[in-house]
Amino acid sequence: MNSCPQPAAYTPATDILSLGTDFYDPVQAAEFPMARLRFRNDRWAARVGLGDLDEAAWIAHFARFRPLPGSLPQPLALRYHGHQFRTYNPDIGDGRGFLFAQVRDDRGRLLDLGTKGSGQTPYSRFGDGRLTLKGGVREVLATEMLEALGVETSKSFSLIETGEALERGDEPSPTRSAVLVRLSHGHIRIGSFQRLAYFGDSDGLRRLTDYVLRHFYGDESGDPVRLLDHVLDATARLAGQYMAAGFVHGVLNTDNINLSGESFDYGPWRFAPRWEPGFTAAYFDHQGLYAFGRQPEAIHWNLMQLAIALRPIADSAPLIDLLNLYGERYQHAVTAAFLWRLGVRPRQPAEDQALLQAIERGLRTTGTPIADFFHTSFGGRIDDSVGDAFAEAHALLGRYRPRQHRRDRFWDGPPCALLIEEVEQLWAAIDRDDDWAPLHAKIAAIRDFGAALAD
Residues known to be catalytic: 255
**390: helix, strand or coil:** helix
Q: How far apart are CA 142 and CA 400, in angstroms?
A: 31
User: CA nearest 176: which of 61, 32, 77, 63?
Assistant: 32
**Which H or E element spans position 183?**
strand 175-184
Contacts of 405 (CB under 8 A, 6+ apart): none
Rounded CA-CA distance 21/316 in Å is 30
Q: How far apart are CA 363 and CA 455, in angstroms?
A: 26
CA dihedral 198, 201, 204, 209 (to 10 degrees): 60
Positive/negative CA dihedral, 161, 30, 110, 266:
positive
- Rounded to a whole number of angstroms, the distance between the first and last alpha carbons of the chain is 16
> Among 330, 329, 325, which residue's Cα sits nearest to residue 294?
330
H-run or E-run covering 83: strand 82-84
Beta pairing class for 175-184 and 270-271: unpaired
Per the CB < 8 A criterion, the answer to whether 312 and 198 are in contact is no
Residues 6 or more apart whose CB falls under 8 angstroms from that of 393 comprise 355, 358, 359, 361, 362, 377
Burial of 130 (0-12, 13-18, 19+ CB in 10 A): buried
